[in-house]
Each structure stands twice: as structure tokens, then as C-alpha cells.
Amino acid sequence: MQNKAKVFPVSHIVGFVLSLVMTFAAAWVALKTFYSFNTIMMIIGTLAVLQAALQLTMFMHMNEGEDGRTQTINVVYGIFVAIVIVAGTVWVMSIGMHTHH
């Protein structure tokens, strides 16, 4: 048996600091820049996706364990299902809006 206990969780501290940096960067872009609305939303969305990936790997240990590949496949499948549901909902609602004047 191996003892995997660490004295100081360096990866958790690094993940926390990087998450804070991304959060403050998104707030700064939203409040202190004069970019167009679409550009601001694109930057914030990109930072949100990066932060979600960071938290999955640093805090939820997605890539650790005996079979980290299965966990990764499950997360990718969950993201795919969420995208299909959102895109399908927008598609159906936009068609319904055009057919019912």
C-alpha cells in the first residue's frame, strides 16, 4: 500500500489561485474595458470554459485514478448532451416563433 497523502496540497492552491485570476480577469473585462458586447461575452465564455476545465482537473481529480480515461469520456459525453439539449431547444423555439405569427 502506498501512502498518497501529501503534506501540503500544492495543486489545490495553484488551482484556487488560477481560478481567482480567471474570475477577476472576467470581471475586469466586463467592467473596465470598452470592447463590444459580443467580444466581452466571448472572452467571459472562454474564461468560464477554461475555469471549468481547470476545476475538473485540479479539484475533482478527473485525470486521476485507475481509469482516468473513463472519467474523461463521461465528462465529454455530458458536455455533448448539454450542448445538444441547449442547441435543440434554441432551434425548436426559433422555428416555433417563425411558424406562429
Domain boundaries, the chain: 9-60, 66-101
What is the pTM (predicted TM-score) of this model? 0.69
Q: What are phi and psi of 2, to 5 degrees?
A: -100, 145
pLDDT band at 4 (very low <50, low <70, confident <90, very high): low
Task: Please give the grid coordinates belonging to residue 85.
Answer: 439539449
Residue pointed to by grid coordinates 481509469: 67
- Choose among 65, 92, 63, 64: nearest CA to 76: 63
Q: Number of C-alpha atoms within 13 angstroms, CB side, residue 43?
A: 18
17-65 pLDDT, tens digit each: 999 999 999 999 999 999 999 999 999 999 999 999 898 888 887 767 6
